[in-house]
Structure 1
Amino acid sequence: MKLKWVAAAAMAVIGNSAYADSSVTLYGVLDSGLLYQSTSAAVVSANPSTLTGLPPGTRLPPAAAASVANALRNLGAVYRFKDGGIYSSVWGMKGTEDLGGGYAANFRLQGTFDTGTGKTGQSDTAGVPGFFNQIATAGVSGPFGSINAGRQIAPMIYAMGETDARHAQYFGSILGAWIGLNSAAGWPGTSTNGPIGALYDSNAIVYRSPNFYGISADLEYAPGGVAGHFQGGTRESAVLKYSGYGLRLAALYYSGHDTNPFTTVSSTAATAVPATGLNNNRYWYVGALYTIKDFSVSASYSNGANPAPRSALNPNGGTSLDLYSVGLGYRFTPAFNVSSGLYYIKDRNDSKNTSLEVAAGADYSLSKSTVAYAQVGWVNNHGVMTQGITYGALVAPGMGTAAVNIGLRHNF
């Protein structure tokens, strides 16, 4: 009799395993448009030491100095096809398996590509594209929340987007202003490994808590895997959020070691920088978005810094940059929305380095899957600031620029 019950229980377990509910979804987004920008540049960073891989103050040979100066100059107006006016074009797949008792296993793979050329997006390694350069995770979820492991969009980006009237879009938003912090801090723009915060983190483990009366938290840790240096290449972050009664609040702290990036790049060679656990990436942010009826208003303050001392291997040490933002939006109908934002960056170490950006946009849902949009922006850079209006359209140091972008975004 006991044997019969054991056999029945075993068959029940096997049956539940074999017939557990599961699903796999293929999805994607195409976002294409046209962009006009009144000025342009060849590189992201205005820091010659970043471009050459040499310590600050190094005197370059005349030919090399001329090459750097040419890279930093204004190349003139540009009219071009532009992928990713709202967000990047992506293709991906995701799957979930019901484990019973409120628990589930999941995976997700997602990568960016350029609709104009078909090229895949960049990775953590300079000049090397990544097929699933945004997300490549496996995880579990349940009453405890969720845990996902692998390359993923950093939790800080979601927190910033949820407290920005422009929703951290690629054109004129808190995302573009944060990228302006990175370029001012010496980011060469050749990889996703930047000096302030992170858009993506590789080898990351992210825990997301359940929602308790509108309060939730995200915790992230990414081991570096560097032999002999426990903190070599590590990333850590914490995000606390609140949502309720039309109000969204977010506070975050991000810390990284050996960032921006593991190599310095010159026109002729790439020099490896040892990953020893240098604490050279710190970012914190507080922001709020309040929606009443059809109006939305947002505000934020953040600081990005390279806390480690300046040295030949850390030419941007001591960098400290403040970012302020305000935004306003109005939804005329469920299908038609307008939003605007103002983003101001200042260098705590040099008052000459400031940047002011103003942007506005309108989007109209033609269907559940298709959105048409138009956007306009203006930025005024001073000193060595290179804040741009839209991701991927570069601006020369200290140059102002205006931009107009129209496009279509389709989900499938």
Structure 2
Amino acid sequence: MKKMLVAVAGTCAFTGVARAQSSVTLYGLIDAGVNYTTSVQTSRATNGSPRGGSQFAMLDGGLGGLSGSRWGLKGVEDLGGGWKALFQLESGLNFNNGTLGQGGAMFGRQAFVGLSGSPGTLTFGRQYDSVRDFVQSYTATAQLGGVIGARPDDLDNLANSRRVNNAIKYTSPKFNGLTFGGLYSMGGIAGAPGRNQLWSLGLNYENGAFAFGGAYLNARNPNFSYFGTNPNASASVTSNNMGSAGSPASPQYNPVYAGFASAHTMEIFGAATTYNIGNFTLGVNYTYTRFDNLGDTETSGPNPYHYSGEAIFSSPEVNIQYQVNPALRLGASYNYTHLSRANYDNGATYNQYSAGASYALSKATVIYGVAVYQSASGTDSLNQPAVASLDGLTPSATSHQASFRLGLRHYF
């Protein structure tokens, strides 16, 4: 249950100014669980092949469950005339050890301030992009697939792995079921106004049992503007913020796309729809993720595999949910992802299946189970035989990986 921390109404000792109908709210959730995962990488052998084994682990929901644990503050002040000032500060955390998420950022999930009125809402700060805002809710990762049910290594950000810094964002009011919006992030590089910039646009439409969402994102120098926005990221063009090829002492990280850090531009297009039939919800969605102009080692990132041209991920998904009764919900999904690269005949293919069930003990507490299986084939971005890589988890040492989770999620 959400708790009202402050009701600011003429008693503010710091300013002495009366502020009627203003409030600040504390909120959050903790997603705790245990995962059993097959074939988890531990390191890379001297011949380049990964090594690993099965794993039992207590993991936060952001690494292997439905959603990342968090706490936050949000507030609103009535300015009169239909206008409101608002803010939100949200911190990610790992419940099992108490550390901060998002690379150690204090408010790494969200941090913004803005104004809201009849023309819409305008906010400034660290925020979600339009792909997340307008497409995510229709996909398996926002339902019972959770983080590990996202596309391989969350290549399209529908599991919300990344946020956008220095962003100006607009969201419209709802017009007969239609909502739209956009975001622009300034690069902030002196003498190079286009470098590291990012922008996105999206819309959502709901009409009875039918709903649709679509969005587009364009990130210049994505190794920094999109993947390098956490405090632990590097600003050097010799560093790879997108992933790692691993070492004799460490596993790989994001092998699905880690080899494409030299892309000058990244584009994501997503479209999704759902339709309700009684207690069933049927969903279909598609994302197209493209890394353009590979080989930009001057302003983007390293290119150890000497790639050029473009790399394209095409990824359709189907999902279904069934509300058995007010407390029990079931879901399943299938996703197919294919990587193709200019000048290379052998890309990579990923097939992924997920199933889940949740039972509400109350309005604030849910127990759930999720099972996900992924198989990979072909050659991935690290120019190796493709390994399976479930989002949030350490990649597999082989072409297959499965994870099973039993979890408890509590809102407050």
More helix as a share of residues: 1
Which amino acid in structure 1 is aligned with residue 355 of structure 2? A
Mapped contact 1:224–1:230 kept (Cα < 8 A) = yes
Residue 70 of structure 2 is aligned to residue 90 of structure 1 = yes
Which amino acid in structure 2 is aligned with residue 360 of structure 1? A
Partner of 1:179: 153
Partner of 2:274: 289
Report the 3-state secondary structure (helix = DSSP H, G, I; strand = E; otherwise coil) of the residue aligned with 1:233: coil
Looking at structure 1, the residues matched to 190 and 163 of structure 2 have their Cα atoms a distance apart, in angstroms, of 23
Equivalenced residue count is: 348
Alignment CA distance shift 1:245-1:224 (3 Å):
same
Partner of 1:272: 236
Report the 3-state secondary structure (helix = DSSP H, G, I; strand = E; otherwise coil) of the residue aligned with 2:131: helix
Residue 348 of structure 2 is aligned to residue 348 of structure 1 = no
For residue 165 of structure 1, report the CA deviation from its aligned partner.
4.6
Looking at structure 2, the residues matched to 374 and 230 of structure 1 have their Cα atoms a distance apart, in angstroms, of 47
Partner of 2:130: 155
Residue 57 of structure 2 is aligned to residue 80 of structure 1 = yes
- Deviation per residue, 1:295-330 (Å, 9 max, x gap): 011111211111124244463651111111000110
Partner of 1:49: none
Report the 3-state secondary structure (helix = DSSP H, G, I; strand = E; otherwise coil) of the residue aligned with 2:40: coil
The structure 2 residue matched to 1:118, chosen from 95, 98, 112, is 98
For residue 94 of structure 1, report the CA deviation from its aligned partner.
0.5
Mapped contact 2:166–2:186 kept (Cα < 8 A) = yes
Partner of 1:140: 115
Looking at structure 2, the residues matched to 68 and 259 of structure 1 have their Cα atoms a distance apart, in angstroms, of 30
Partner of 2:176: 213
Looking at structure 2, the residues matched to 163 and 278 of structure 1 have their Cα atoms a distance apart, in angstroms, of 29
The CA RMSD over aligned residues, in Å, is 2.8
Looking at structure 1, the residues matched to 192 and 238 of structure 2 have their Cα atoms a distance apart, in angstroms, of 10
Q: Which runs of 4+ in 1 moved over 6 A?
A: none
Mapped contact 2:219–2:265 kept (Cα < 8 A) = yes
Report the 3-state secondary structure (helix = DSSP H, G, I; strand = E; otherwise coil) of the residue aligned with 2:324: strand
Looking at structure 2, the residues matched to 232 and 29 of structure 1 have their Cα atoms a distance apart, in angstroms, of 36
Looking at structure 2, the residues matched to 83 and 121 of structure 1 have their Cα atoms a distance apart, in angstroms, of 10
Mapped contact 2:113–2:125 kept (Cα < 8 A) = yes
Q: Which runs of 5+ in 1 are unaligned?
A: 1-16, 44-64, 124-128, 183-193
Which amino acid in structure 2 is aligned with residue 371 of structure 1? V
More strand as a share of residues: 2
Which amino acid in structure 2 is aligned with residue 409 of structure 1? R
Partner of 1:407: 407
The structure 2 residue matched to 1:367, chosen from 362, 370, 382, is 362
For residue 366 of structure 1, report the CA deviation from its aligned partner.
0.4
Report the 3-state secondary structure (helix = DSSP H, G, I; strand = E; otherwise coil) of the residue aligned with 1:308: strand
Which amino acid in structure 2 is aligned with residue 299 of structure 1? V
> Is the radius of gyration larger for structure 1 or structure 2?
1
Partner of 1:199: 162
Work out the percentage of aligned pairs sharing the same amino acid: 27
Report the 3-state secondary structure (helix = DSSP H, G, I; strand = E; otherwise coil) of the residue aligned with 1:29: strand
For residue 144 of structure 1, report the CA deviation from its aligned partner.
0.8
* TM-score normalised by L of structure 2: 0.78
For residue 398 of structure 1, report the CA deviation from its aligned partner.
5.3
Mapped contact 1:180–1:388 kept (Cα < 8 A) = no
Q: Which runs of 5+ in 2 are unaligned?
A: 1-16, 240-261, 381-385
Mapped contact 1:32–1:83 kept (Cα < 8 A) = yes
Residue 291 of structure 2 is aligned to residue 306 of structure 1 = yes
For residue 368 of structure 1, report the CA deviation from its aligned partner.
1.0
